[in-house]
Amino acid sequence: MVHKIALVTGAGTGVGRAITLALARDGWSVALAGRRPQPLHDLADELRAAGHEGLAVPADVADPGAVESLFAAIRTTYGRLDLLVNNAGRNAPAVPLEDLELTDWQGVVDVNLTGAFLCTQQAVRLMKSQTPRGGRIINNGSLSAHTPRPQSAPYTATKHAITGLTKATALDGRDHGIACGQIDIGNAETPMTARMADGVRQPDGSIRVEPTMDVNDVGRAVAYMASLPLDANVPFMTVMATGMPFLGRG
């Protein structure tokens, strides 16, 4: 059996971990990338213990050299790549826009946008050259690709930009058998959303507890997108906690 090869960035925890597990259950061999080595190696061990194949490659997607080394490891180990999931991301302190430090802005741009671009660039090069050629790229857009939370200019700006990158990649990859889509996630239950239980600031200034959803539902959604043949694509999918204040006026 020929295994399909996937790369998930930000794979060690949270959404990335759930995506990795869902893909492995569907028969993918998964390369795991992230800045912290230990969660990656722990997850790779968990995959192997369950009879799956996982390759842990610590890498900071904001570092062009690290991204090149990441893809060199994939070429050496597997010889090809069928799926890239651009999931790695970070946020900045929730402060008024005028008080945001430039270094905090740049740090979010470097990971959320430039990191996704660098990985996409390397993936497209490999997908164009491999035999059989082609592959799929799935970007984590977030609901912030549509609607901001208060005091979230860097995150919101980068996630809106991810939508542009998704559309451009889908267009430029069309003639090369490369499909690209985006999943927009709202309130998946992870350590990053633990604060929802204590309430988060709303646009009207109030603090409100928000519902969350099982992060494994995100994994299953991405696995579905990844399961399609390359002549079919989900350009955009939204998966969110049903009761969160997103649709309508809250």
Q: Provide the annotated active-site residues.
A: 155
Burial class (CB in 10 A: 0-12, 13-18, 19+), 189: buried
Closest CA to 112 of 54, 80, 152: 152
Pairwise CA distance, residues 81 & 144, whole Å: 28
Pairwise CA distance, residues 199 & 192, whole Å: 13
The total of other beta-carbon atoms located within 10 Å of residue 248's CB is 5
Phi, psi of 32 (to 5 degrees): -110, 120
- Quick one: tokens of 182? 């985006």
Pairwise CA distance, residues 229 & 68, whole Å: 28
- Quick one: tokens of 83? 């799926």
